Structure 1
C-alpha cells in the first residue's frame, strides 16, 4: 500500500519529529446562502446608486427615501424576518412614465352637520383623518385632509388641496405605482361624520414601469435566492423570464445561481386574473392574486419573498405546504372581495396563487404556484406546479454540489476495478456513485426526497468519452405536500344487526 500524502509535507523529510497537516474537508456542513432581493423604485432624495445592488441594514429610509417603494418593501420583509439578509436593486422612474393621481372631493351640508367629528380616507391601508368642527366648510375639510397626509413621512402619495378637492399623486411614476388603493371606508370603518361626504375618483392613470434589464445585469452571478418583483406588465415579466432562464439565465448549467421571483396583482377581478394567468408560463415566477387588498402590490411581493426566505430556504420546512402561513403586514380584502373555493380552484388552473382570510382578518396563503402551465409543445404540464418543487430542486442541487465538490475537490479519476488506496486522492465512478447515494440518504432524512432505493436503481454514474469527465443522472423523487383529503362519510341510521 502506498504512503499517505500529507499536503505540505514532502516525501523523504528527515528532520524529526511530527508534522501535522490540516484537512477541513470532513468538518464542514451544508449551508445555503439565502438572500432576499427587493426590486423597486427609489426616490431622487435617496442616497443609493440607482441600477446597482445595495445591502439594506436598517438604512432603507436614507438609501431610497422614507416614503419610497423600496422602503415599504424592506419594512414588510422585516415584519416576517428581522434577521433577513436584504438587498435591493433600486430603480428610478422611467423617463416617460406617468404618475397615478386620485381626486378626493369633499362636501359639507350645513343642515345635516350638527356636531363635530372626523372625516378621512385610507391610502394603502393607512387611514388619514381630519377633525371637522362646527362652522367649517368643505374647503376646511380638504385642507385638513391634505395636511394629515402630508404630515406622514411614509405616505405613499403627496396631497394638494384646491378648494373642496384634494389631489393625491403617487410618489412614484409607473403602472404599478398607480395601483395604490385609495378608499373612504375599510371594513365599515371611516364613515365621515353626518353631514360630510367624501368621494374618491381616479385621475391620471399610472403608466410606464422602469426597464429592469440593465440593472439586473449588474447582479452578475451573485446569489439572490428570493426576489420580490412588483411589476406584472408584459415587458417586466419577459425580462424576469430571461433573467432566470434555464438555458442562458441564472438556472443555466453553466451558471448555477438559481432563485425564484414573486409578484402580485391587487387590482384584477377573478375573471381578469384568470385571463392574465393564461398569458404566463414561467416556473421561476410566482404571482399572487389578491384583489381588493389595501396593500400595494410591491408590499405583497415583498411579503411573498419574506415567506420564501423563512419557509422555503431550509429542510425539512421547505417540503411543507404553505396553507395557513400568514402574510405578515398585508391587509385583507373586504369580505365581498375575498376569493371563495370556486374562484381559487379556477385560479390554480391558471398559474395564479391565492389566499384565505381568517376570522381575525389575517391574510393567509392558501396555495402558491409558479406560472408554469404548459411545456414547449403547449401541452398541459404540472411538473413545476407548486413553489415547493422549485425550492426542493434548488436545495437538492446545492446540497449535492456542496457534498460532492467538498469531498472530491482535487482527485484523479480511474476506471472501476482499479484499486484506490488512502492518500491517492483518486476516485472511480462506483466510489462517486456510493457517495451520491449516501447524500441521497441524508436528503431523505431531511424530508427533501423519498424512495432512496429507487433513486439508487435509477442513478447513473459513468465516464464520459472525455477521460477527464464523469456523466451523471440524478433522479430525485421529491417529497410531496398533503394539500387535499378526499373523504366519504358513509353514514347509517342504524347499524345492521350482526349475529
Structure 2
C-alpha cells in the first residue's frame, strides 16, 4: 500500500466480499518498573522453597512463608520500611557452615526485683524481676522473652532463639553462616535501673563460619527482571558469582540478554580492610556498603544492604521525573541504627577515602539517624588500568537501565516487523529507512532529556551515527553517544569577606 498504512492481520489483497474490518493493535507506551529482590535465609521448616524468587507483598506474608525472624523476612521488613510502594521479591537460599551462639550469664539478681534490659539486633527485650527471684528464674524468663519477642510497631522478630540452663541463657542463631556474626547482643548501661547492667556476662561462644553457594539461586533468576538486588553474602566467592551474573559479555548486561540489574551488598570489617577490599574490586554492577567492625553495631549486615538499597530504589527506578539522577545525600534510612560508639561514625576524610577506593558511604545526622552519603559502584578503572569515573555513581547504572529499556521499546514500537530499505519513495508502512530509525532515536532522546535522565539531546542527535552493515543488509549498526544528567554532589564557594565594598571610581 502506498499510503503508509500497514496492517498486521488484515491482508492487503484477496478480500472481495463486502465488510467493515477493524484490527486492534497497540501504538506502544513505555513504562519502566524497577523490581527489587532481597536474598536471605528462610527458617528451617519454612514453606518457601529455596532458590525460587517470589513476590512479597506484606510482612505477614514474608513471616508466613520464610519464617518470623529469618534473615529473609527481616531483610524484607527493612526494605519495605524504606520503600513502602516498591515491588519487592524475595529469594531464600540454603545456609551452610557453623552456627553462631552466645551465652548470657545472670551473675546476680537484685533482691528487691526490678527490670532487666538487653538489646538483640537493636531490639529492646525487657524482663520483669520479682522480689526474691533467683538467677535461674530470671534466666528462664529471659529465654522466654527472647523466643516470644515481636515488635508490633515495626513487625520485627529476632534472628535467634534462646534456651536456659540454671542461670545461663544460650542464644543461638536461626541460621548457620558468617552473616550471623553480625547479630549484636548488648546490655545497655544508660538505661536507668537496668538490673542486667553489671550483673550479667555476655560471651559469643561459637563464631559462625561458612557462606552459601549462590550458584543455583542466581541461575534461578533466569531472564526475569530484577533491577536491584540486596544480598548480605559478600564473601570472595559469591562476589565473583555476582560478577558472572551481571557480566557485560555473557550475563544479564550482555547484548544477548539485556536483562540488566545491580547488586548491593554489605561487609563488616575494619576500615583498612574495607578500603583494601574496594581497591581489589572493579565491577560497575556492584555496590558495597561498609559496616565498620568494632563499633558495636545494633543492625545486622542484611539490614544495611536491604535498608540502604531500599531507601534509594524508589528514586533509582523513577526515570519519568528525573528522580533517578538526583543526589541522594542525607536520605534517612529507616530501621538501620548507627554504631553505638561515635568513634566509628565515618567523618568526611574517611568517607572520601572510601569513595576513592570503590566503597560507598553513609553518615549519621544530628538526630543519630543513619543517612545515605553517597552510593557508588566499585568500578574505578577501564580495561587498560586507567582511572575511569564514568560508571562510578550508582545513578548512572539506574539511568542506563531506564534509557536502554526506553530506546529498545521505542525501536520495537516503531520498527518491529518491518523491512529495511535505503529509501521509501512510496511511503510504504512496511518499510523503514536509516533516517526513520534515526528519527526514533532522536525523538526518544528528546523525551529522556525532558524527563531529566539524558542530557544534551541536540548534541546526541549530531553525534548519532547509523549505517547499513556492509556484510549483512538486514542489519543496521548504530553509535549512540549518550550523555547522562549528573547528581549535584558538591558546591564549592569562595566566601570573600570585605570590611566595605570598594566603590567604583566616578567617571
**Band the TM-score falls in, shorter-chain normalisation:** over 0.9
Cα deviation digits, residues 394-433 of structure 1 (max 9, x gap): 1111110011111111111111xx2344443111112211
1:311 paired to 2:315? yes
1:282 paired to 2:279? no
Pairing partner for 2:443 from 431, 438, 441: 438
State the partner residue of 1:458. 463
Cα deviation digits, residues 441-470 of structure 1 (max 9, x gap): 111001111112221121111101200000
1:237-256 correspondence runs (5 A): 237-256=239-258
1:182 paired to 2:179? no
- Distance in structure 2 (CA, Å) of the matches to 1:497 and 1:473: 55
Question: Under a length normalisation based on structure 2, what TM-score does the superposition of the two structures give?
Answer: 0.91
* Gap change, CA 1:308 and 1:495, over 3 Å in 2: closer
- Distance in structure 2 (CA, Å) of the matches to 1:195 and 1:306: 35
* Gap change, CA 1:485 and 1:445, over 3 Å in 2: same
* Gap change, CA 1:422 and 1:230, over 3 Å in 2: same
Partner-residue secondary structure (3-state), 1:404: helix
State the partner residue of 1:39. 39
* Gap change, CA 1:162 and 1:464, over 3 Å in 2: same
Cα deviation digits, residues 359-408 of structure 1 (max 9, x gap): 22222101001111223233332221110011111111111001111111
- Distance in structure 2 (CA, Å) of the matches to 1:194 and 1:313: 46
> Is 1:114–1:195's contact at 8 Å kept on the other side of the alignment?
no
State the partner residue of 2:260. 258
**More deviation in 468-477 or 51-60?**
51-60
State the partner residue of 2:106. 106
Pairing partner for 2:123 from 126, 135, 149: 126
* Gap change, CA 1:162 and 1:279, over 3 Å in 2: farther
State the partner residue of 2:7. 6
Pairing partner for 1:348 from 349, 355, 359: 355
**More deviation in 376-385 or 123-132?**
376-385
State the partner residue of 1:295. 299
Pairing partner for 2:164 from 161, 166, 190: 161
- Distance in structure 2 (CA, Å) of the matches to 1:329 and 1:139: 34
**More deviation in 343-352 or 132-141?**
132-141
**More deviation in 5-14 or 371-380?**
5-14
Pairing partner for 2:333 from 322, 327, 333: 327
What are the ranges of 5 or more consecutive residues in structure 1 without an aligned counterpart?
A: none
Cα deviation digits, residues 23-76 of structure 1 (max 9, x gap): 322xx3211132111111111221011122222233112211112111111212
- Distance in structure 1 (CA, Å) of the matches to 2:94 and 2:171: 20
- CA deviation after TM superposition for structure 1 residue 84, in Å: 2.7
Q: How many pairs does the alignment contain?
A: 488
- CA deviation after TM superposition for structure 1 residue 83, in Å: 3.2
- Distance in structure 2 (CA, Å) of the matches to 1:268 and 1:199: 25
What are the ranges of 5 or more consecutive residues in structure 2 without an aligned counterpart?
A: 151-156
- Distance in structure 1 (CA, Å) of the matches to 2:23 and 2:200: 78
Partner-residue secondary structure (3-state), 1:327: strand
- Distance in structure 2 (CA, Å) of the matches to 1:431 and 1:420: 13
Partner-residue secondary structure (3-state), 2:280: coil
Moved over 4 A (4+): none
> Is 1:108–1:195's contact at 8 Å kept on the other side of the alignment?
no
